[in-house]
Each structure stands twice: as C-alpha cells, then as structure tokens.
Chain A
C-alpha cells in the first residue's frame, strides 16, 4: 500500500491505496466517487477524464501515486453548493446529455478548454473534445453547450 495526500475537489484528502491502482480505481473504488466513468480503460474514450492541476488527464492511465501533492477536480466538484456550474447549466439547457455516460468527461475537458481559452471557436471546442467520445448526441448539442457557456448564455 502507498499513502497519498492530495487535494480532491478543493478539500484535502489522505488515503492508502495499493500501488497498482490507477487514479480511476482510487476515485471510484477507494472514494466512491462514481461520477468519473470507466469506459475503455485504454485512454481512448475520455469518460474517465478528470483535471489534474487544471489539466485534463485520463484517470485510467494515471497511477494513483501521481496524484500525490496535486489537485484533482472531478465532476462531483463542479457544482457550487448544489447549484450547477455554468457548463453544467449550459449542457442541461442545450440538451447536450442523452445517456450521460460521457458527460462528466465532456464537462471536465470543456472546463479545461475555457480556463485556457475563454472565447473558443467551434473548431477549438471540437479539438478540445476530440478525445471524448459520445455515442448518443452526435456532438452538435455538446459543442453548442460549450460555446453557450463561453458566451455566458
């Protein structure tokens, strides 16, 4: 077992995990934060995307030990006192969610984009979300939601 201290959704967290666990194993099975999804397990589908020090990462590829001393944001940390953040609100308003499995990863990839580029073009949004697969929506409403959130609509 290894001991890990890190910041999780703004709060300090200390936990012991087996050395072979990934960050995704830690979030879902160690901390019961099931918003982050296990999709392909190979870094391709994007459903396990979380932010590590503000950058999107595939939590299925990152060993849990890499979280030590760093700051992790998952979908559970997006809302403010139960109120959806602007991306969550925009997704809901645009109907950008169908089955919902890709949504946490989409929200976090979109959040990283808007932090780096507050006024993205549609092309920028599509590039930023290229690693997040959605098998329901056809992406149009997701892209619209991100653009709407950026525009403050």
Chain B
C-alpha cells in the first residue's frame, strides 16, 4: 500500500526550513526519521499534503559536549545516542533509555527530535530527559528559544512547538555528581511495542545514606511524560529504607493519571507504576545494575 501523495520539501539550511514553514503557514508537517509519522500517515490518521524533511540540514545530527553540557541535534538517531561514548559516560541514563526504544531497525532511523515532537506519553527518552532536566531548542521565524523539558509536553500528543517552529536540539546539563540512575520499562507484549509504563530515576545519596536528591520520570503514566514530584518529595532527605521506597512507589502511583487503552487499563498502569518504581529505586539504592 502506498502513502497518499504529498509534496516533499528538503531544505538545506535551517533558515530555509523556517522560511518554507512560514510560507506554508501551518499547512505542512515536518518529517524527521519518519518512524512515527509514516505509520500514522499509512493508517490515514494524518493526511498531510506537504512534508518538510530536515535530513539535509547540516549539523542537526551532531552530538557534542560543550563545557560539561550535552548538546544533541534533533536529527540524531536513537542508535547514535545509545552508542556515543561521551554521551554514555556522562549521561548514562539517556544512553540507556535511547538503547531501550523499540528495536534496532527503529533506533537507527528514529530521532530524538522526532521522539519528543511526537510526544508519545510512553516515550522512553522523555522520562530520562525529564530526570536530567533537559532543555529543548526550538527555532522559528522569530529566532531560537529554549523550552525546559518540564514545560515541553503540553497535552496528549501535544508540545510547546508552535506551528512554523522546528525543534533543533536538546541541551542536557551535566548529570549531578555521584548520581546513580536507571531506566526500566515494562513491555507486556513484545520489544517493538511502546511500553505500558516506563520509569527513569536519578538518585544522589548523601554521606549518611539519605536521599540528597532524587528525580523520577514516568512514561505511560499520564497523557504526557511526567515527573513524579510527590514521590520525590516524600523521600528527599530520608533514608531509603524498603518502607520509604514503598511509600515513594505508592505516591508515584497516586499522582499518576494514566489513560486506559488496549495495552492496559488506567488501574493496571497505576499498579505497574507502583511495582516498577519500587524495583527501580531498590536497585539504585542497592547499587545493583538496573535490569535491561
């Protein structure tokens, strides 16, 4: 089955891309890797007449570290992120989440910018980027602006990227010193599926084994990827006993607002958040590797 015909623009610079989008006045879709957009088009859920591909714009698929801050271009593939040495040593949580997306032939094609713009509630990279307090670079005719990841996801499959704007990259501050981190996802069916729920966490223990800092990011737990702030507050400054971890897991399940769909009901998702947050925090506390 063929895709419904569309006109394809392939700008060779960012200003050209912004200019094309402005000219088309919201009447075009941006295509990055296409792993989300093409199936959506194939299913007839979106029927764009025009696509603007970003693949010819130089520099958008670079990974670099600048003064301790990671800059990942929007067109960087998840596979490239998962295998990048500097990213893996400085931001292991992000590398781990990128490596867990779908299957190899999807990761080779899917991009970090596309993943964020698709705004799948059960995104794997999003909970990691929420924990790392990333910032998203967005370019438009008025120039570039930076949106904190916490304000990026605005609703069910909706983001802060306005019509005519292009997500150009992600800026990730240094992982806090001494942090332990991990990403766990629960795929009740098969690897290529999105997870029912995913949980990322970053934990800094102080000298007395108390929680100096904790950040918990959840996927599939609400209409958008979310931070579990109540759970974080509950254990910050506390010793991470089994009981404290259970309390945090209960809080995360409580503050989640999951949707019901064919993969699982809201109640089931809430229960699985409880289970997987508990497992994740326990593994991090004990210094055990987070199981893949």
Could you list which residues of chain A lie within 8 angstroms of chain B, going by C-beta atoms? 2, 18-22, 25, 38, 41-44, 46, 49, 52, 55-58, 60-63, 65-66, 109, 112-113, 127-128, 130-131
Q: Closest Cβ of chain A: how far from B81's Cβ, in Å?
A: 13
Given known A-B contacts A46-B105, A56-B104, A63-B53, A20 and B4 have beta carbons under 8 A apart: yes
Interface residues of B in 38-89 (CB under 8 A from A): 38-39, 42-43, 51, 53, 55, 79
Does B191 contact A52, Cβ atoms closer than 8 Å? Answer: no
Is A112 within 8 A of B39, CB to CB? no
Whether the Cβ atoms of A66 and B106 lie closer than 8 Å is no
> What is the size, in residues, of chain B's interface with A at 8 Å between Cβ atoms?
31
Name the distance in Å between B31's Cβ and chain A's nearest Cβ: 7
CA distance A149 to B51 in the complex (A): 42
Besides A20-B2, A22-B3, A113-B104, 6 other A-B contacts (C-beta < 8 A): A21-B2, A21-B3, A46-B105, A56-B104, A61-B33, A65-B10
Q: B106–A58 contact, CB under 8 A?
A: yes
In the A-B complex, the 8 residue pairs with the smallest Cβ-Cβ separation, listed nearest first, are A131-B103, A130-B191, A19-B8, A56-B105, A42-B39, A55-B108, A61-B38, A20-B5
Flag if B8 contacts A61 (CB, 8 Å).
no
Which one of B1, B39, B102 contacts A131 once the chains associate, using CB atoms below 8 Å? B102
Main SS at interface, chain B: loop
Interface positions, chain B 231-283, Cβ under 8 Å from A, are none
B90 at the interface (CB under 8 A from A): no
A65 CA / B10 CA spacing, docked (Å): 9
Contact B5–A130 (Cβ < 8 Å): no
CA distance A21 to B51 in the complex (A): 13
Mark contacts of B91-126 with chain A using CB atoms, 8 A cut-off: 1 yes-contact digit, 0 otherwise: 000000000001111101100000000000000000
Q: Measured between C-beta atoms, what is the minimum distance from A14 to chain B in Å?
A: 17
Asked if residues A25 and B7 are in contact (CB atoms below 8 Å), the reply is no
A61 touching B104 by the CB < 8 A rule?
no
